[in-house]
């Protein structure tokens, strides 16, 4: 019988969509044949929809919705690929209606809806090449080059489509192909699925040493945190200096701060840089000048925090102000406090994961309990407060956590898991729900915990991320007790072999959607497809919403009751497919977090809850807890963990991700964790990662 492994929780020919066959392969060349053997073109309303089962589709709203496949090739550290088309088999078809656009997603009724609007410019500029080569990037020490195969070229002016039913590619690999020492990783199977030439590329891995700036706490035993306010001259006077030990030498003092530096002028991505601030010393008082260092384009508050030290392990001389400042105008510092250095050298090796808790005294004991529970894994525990100090000079900034994780991974190539201990919101502040900071790359993009582990030179996450959305000690204690009981005192029974799937009906706004078997809104078909993909030893119970009638409020309480009965009786996985938002599954109110939690009495049969739906996992709202959060903290049952999207996301891409995830989790003869299987799915479906990134483990 199956049991979800809870740590994030411990719950030669390659087949893709169609067929991809390696005809010949050596270290310098791959000859690849890709066959597109199943597709259809269907007229639906005013558009022609392209049906390519198991293919990914583009995500550019308003552009033609065309199938794509990403092919990843491992290359040497200094290498790249050259791609040549050897042969093609192309069919040309004329269509009466334009190819349907990638839909936009808007709020509609209780949930969301698709809006199909053609962007004329994007149709004119639609890709006219079957093959596109991307720049190399890095994924977990693999230098990776990728090829995007687009089997359909659409000519919008003539309403003509060219379909490449077969293509043979010659891929030449450049660079130093000499083999290097091969050290197996615990997640080798992910790489085997990810890279076409894994058997060769595994010998080309290299450890990338990132250029990460931080406060060098390891160079001295004495550090003092200084807070300031507006720009100007400041003084560190007798009251502050008396806190230093008697043996310090005032002429040995140094002062440091960190500032944000733009590293990408287009996105305004930034990183932190360390700088030493010159001092002026006179009559036992220390003076320094605070001035604007951050780039004004960032629209962020500059760092008001400085770090004073002595006994600094460096042969260079301390920086000094070369002119005499107007010391009579000096401002007093706002705060002066010694920092006790804890585990600052980050010297542990062989780590499997890190657990980040808010600060000393907040979730630190529970973090140790979680690490002890997974005794087979080697965890480092680190406080967010220490990370902010060391990697952002004291600024509360998510880039600090990213830099900490990137450096830790560089020192520990086996690192795979990261657990964030505490809730967080997009409105970071002192509120109870803000325990671990969230990370959105810009103000118009959704929060994504994956952003913490998309390291320099990569566009994919390198770690399996998870967050325990507890707001206070009581909730965290409850969750740790729950997961401990699940692992150490499991409830036996057939329920551990049962998967519940509830697909939304195809009713929307009084009409019907999802015509055609492969349409993203044919939720019933996606449920059937997922059930057929699972191991035959798994009993799949489907509650088909279309089989149930409406009440006077256009809801389906009988479908809800049927679903609740299965959950309370016990199931390993509870999977919903369809429309949703942070409080409701479906316009038909199959489940509403604010009303129906009391119907769940399954404390001894906790499932993994999954929603292939918009916003069911929107955990970053300050004033509201989403369904995914509520389920893992429901006292009388709920779920052992939740996987759901934080924002709007796309039908087929959602179900493709979860189908791959469930196959990895339940079908593989090797038991995998939830974190492993979700990262496996995100990486393997890399061409739709922009959609997969929405999904979090709570």
Band (102; pLDDT cuts 50, 70, 90): confident
Name the residue among 631, 641, 542, 548 with its Cα closest to residue 588.
Answer: 548
SS3 letters for 460-493? CCCCEEEEECCCCHHHHHHHHHHHHHHHHCCCCC
pLDDT tops 70 at residue 392: yes
pLDDT of residue 346: 40
In tens, the pLDDT along 262-303 reads: 888 888 888 999 999 999 999 999 999 998 887 777 767 678
In tens, the pLDDT along 543-567 reads: 998 898 888 888 899 999 999 999 9
Q: Give me the mean pLDDT over the 414-438 stretch.
A: 96
Band (217; pLDDT cuts 50, 70, 90): very high
Band (344; pLDDT cuts 50, 70, 90): very low
pLDDT of residue 583: 95
The structural domains of the chain, with segments of one domain joined by +, span: 19-204, 222-339, 493-697
Higher model confidence: residue 110 or residue 687? 110
Higher model confidence: residue 223 or residue 515? 223
Residue percentage of the chain with pLDDT more than 70: 93
- Residue 417: HSE in the Cβ half-sphere, 13 Å Cα cutoff: 31
Least confident range of 294-298, 460-464, 666-670? 294-298
Query: What tokens were used for 447?
Result: 């929060």
* CA dist list (Å): 626 to 313, 400, 581, 588, 649: 50, 27, 8, 18, 16
pLDDT of residue 40: 86
pLDDT of residue 14: 27
CA 645 – CA 649 distance, rounded (Å): 7
pLDDT of residue 2: 47
Q: What is the mean pLDDT of the chain?
A: 89
pLDDT tops 60 at residue 687: no
Is CATH 3.40.50.1980 the right assignment for the domain spanning 493-697? no
Cis check: omega of the bond before 195, within 30 degrees of 0: no
CATH tag, 19-204: 2.60.40.3800
Query: What tokens were used for 311?
Result: 């006994």
pLDDT of residue 12: 25
- Scan for tokens 């001092």, then name that residue: 279
* CA dist list (Å): 504 to 133, 137, 542, 598, 637: 38, 39, 11, 22, 23
Question: Does the fold of domain 493-697 match that of domain 19-204?
Answer: no
In tens, the pLDDT along 608-649 reads: 999 999 999 999 999 999 999 999 999 999 999 999 999 988
Q: Are 476 and 361 in contact (CB under 8 A)?
A: no
Distance from CA of residue 115 to its chain's centroid?
26
Band (653; pLDDT cuts 50, 70, 90): confident
Query: What tokens were used for 343?
Result: 């585990």
Residue percentage of the chain with pLDDT more than 90: 65
- Scan for tokens 């062989």, then name that residue: 350
CA 274 – CA 64 distance, rounded (Å): 46
CA 23 – CA 25 distance, rounded (Å): 7
Band (13; pLDDT cuts 50, 70, 90): very low
H helices, E strands: number in the chain: 14, 37
Band (15; pLDDT cuts 50, 70, 90): very low
Q: Cα-flanking dihedrals φ and ψ of residue 149, to 5°?
A: -100, 120
Q: Give me the mean pLDDT over the 319-327 stretch.
A: 92
Question: Quick check: helix, strand or coil at residue 111?
Answer: strand
In tens, the pLDDT along 480-536 reads: 999 999 999 999 999 999 999 999 886 766 555 555 555 656 888 888 988 898 988
pLDDT of residue 3: 46
Q: Give me the mean pLDDT over the 128-138 stretch.
A: 90
pLDDT of residue 516: 54
Distance from CA of residue 7 to its chain's centroid?
16
Strand order in the sheet with 254-264: 269-277, 254-264, 305-309, 223-227, 335-339
CA 118 – CA 123 distance, rounded (Å): 8
pLDDT of residue 1: 42
pLDDT of residue 590: 94
Band (151; pLDDT cuts 50, 70, 90): very high
Cis check: omega of the bond before 9, within 30 degrees of 0: yes
Query: What tokens were used for 289?
Result: 């000048």
- Scan for tokens 């699940």, then name that residue: 486
CA 422 – CA 513 distance, rounded (Å): 39
pLDDT of residue 512: 56
pLDDT tops 50 at residue 46: yes
pLDDT tops 70 at residue 403: yes
Q: Are 463 and 416 in contact (CB under 8 A)?
A: yes
Band (104; pLDDT cuts 50, 70, 90): confident
CA 668 – CA 684 distance, rounded (Å): 15
pLDDT tops 70 at residue 232: yes
Strand order in the sheet with 417-421: 379-383, 353-357, 417-421, 464-468
Band (348; pLDDT cuts 50, 70, 90): low
């Amino acid at each position: 019988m199956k049991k979800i492994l809870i740590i994030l929780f411990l719950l030669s020919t390659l087949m893709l969509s169609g067929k991809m066959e390696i005809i010949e392969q050596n270290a310098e060349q791959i000859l690849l044949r890709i066959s597109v053997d199943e597709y259809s073109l269907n007229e639906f309303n005013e558009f022609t929809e392209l049906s390519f089962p198991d293919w990914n589709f583009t995500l550019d709203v308003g552009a033609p919705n065309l199938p794509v496949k990403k092919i990843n090739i491992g290359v040497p550290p200094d290498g790249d690929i050259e791609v040549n088309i050897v042969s093609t088999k192309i069919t040309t078809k004329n269509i009466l209606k334009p190819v349907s656009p990638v839909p936009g997603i808007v709020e509609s009724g209780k949930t969301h809806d698709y809006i199909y609007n053609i962007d004329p410019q994007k149709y004119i500029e639609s890709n006219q090449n079957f093959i596109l080569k991307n720049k190399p990037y890095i994924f977990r020490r693999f230098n990776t080059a990728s090829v995007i195969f687009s089997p359909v070229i659409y000519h919008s002016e003539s309403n003509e489509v060219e379909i490449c039913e077969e293509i043979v590619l010659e891929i030449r690999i450049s660079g130093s192909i000499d083999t290097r020492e091969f050290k197996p990783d615990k997640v080798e199977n992910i790489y085997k699925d990810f890279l076409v030439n894994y058997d060769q590329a595994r010998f080309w891995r290299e450890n990338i040493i990132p250029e990460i700036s931080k406060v060098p706490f390891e160079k001295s035993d004495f550090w003092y945190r200084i807070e300031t306010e507006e720009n100007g001259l400041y003084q560190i006077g007798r009251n502050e200096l008396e806190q230093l030990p008697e043996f310090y030498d005032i002429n040995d003092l140094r002062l440091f701060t960190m500032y944000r530096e733009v590293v990408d002028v287009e996105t305004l991505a930034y990183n932190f840089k360390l700088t030493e601030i010159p001092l002026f010393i006179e009559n036992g008082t220390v003076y320094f000048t605070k001035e604007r260092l951050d780039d004004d384009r960032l629209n962020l508050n500059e760092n008001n925090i400085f770090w004073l030290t002595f006994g600094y392990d460096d042969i260079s001389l301390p920086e000094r102000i070369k002119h005499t400042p107007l010391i009579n105008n000096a401002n007093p510092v706002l705060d002066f406090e010694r920092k006790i250095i804890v585990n600052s050298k980050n010297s542990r090796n062989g780590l499997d994961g890190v657990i980040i808790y808010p600060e000393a005294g907040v979730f630190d004991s529970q973090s140790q309990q979680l690490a002890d529970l997974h005794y087979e894994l080697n965890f480092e525990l680190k406080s967010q407060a220490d990370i902010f100090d060391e990697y952002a000079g004291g600024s509360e900034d998510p880039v600090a956590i990213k830099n900490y994780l990137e450096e830790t991974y560089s020192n520990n190539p086996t690192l795979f898991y990261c657990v964030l201990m505490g809730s967080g919101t997009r409105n970071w502040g002192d509120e109870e729900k803000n325990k671990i900071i969230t990370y959105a790359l810009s103000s118009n993009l959704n929060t994504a915990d994956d952003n913490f582990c998309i390291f320099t030179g990569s566009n994919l996450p390198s770690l399996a991320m998870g967050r325990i959305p507890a707001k206070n000690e009581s909730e965290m204690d409850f969750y740790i007790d729950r997961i401990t009981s699940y692992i150490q005192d499991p409830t036996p029974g057939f329920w551990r072999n049962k998967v519940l799937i509830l697909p939304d009906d195809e009713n929307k706004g009084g009409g019907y959607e999802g015509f055609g078997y492969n349409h993203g809104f044919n939720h019933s078909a996606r449920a059937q497809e997922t059930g057929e993909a699972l191991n035959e030893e798994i009993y799949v119970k489907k509650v088909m919403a279309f089989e149930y009638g409406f009440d006077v409020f256009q809801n389906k309480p009988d479908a809800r009751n049927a679903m609740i009965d299965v959950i309370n009786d016990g199931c390993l996985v509870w999977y919903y497919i369809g429309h949703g938002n942070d409080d409701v599954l479906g316009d038909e109110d199959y489940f509403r977090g604010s009303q129906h939690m009391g119907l769940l009495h399954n404390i001894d049969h906790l499932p993994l809850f999954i929603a292939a739906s918009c916003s069911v996992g929107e955990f970053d709202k300050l004033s509201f807890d989403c369904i995914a959060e509520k389920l893992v903290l429901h006292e009388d049952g709920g779920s052992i963990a939740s996987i759901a999207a934080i924002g709007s996301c796309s039908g087929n891409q959602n179900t493709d991700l979860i189908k791959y995830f469930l196959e990895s989790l339940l079908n593989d003869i090797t038991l995998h964790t939830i974190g492993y299987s979700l990262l496996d799915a995100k990486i393997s479906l890399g061409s739709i990662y922009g959609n997969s990134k929405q999904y979090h483990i709570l």
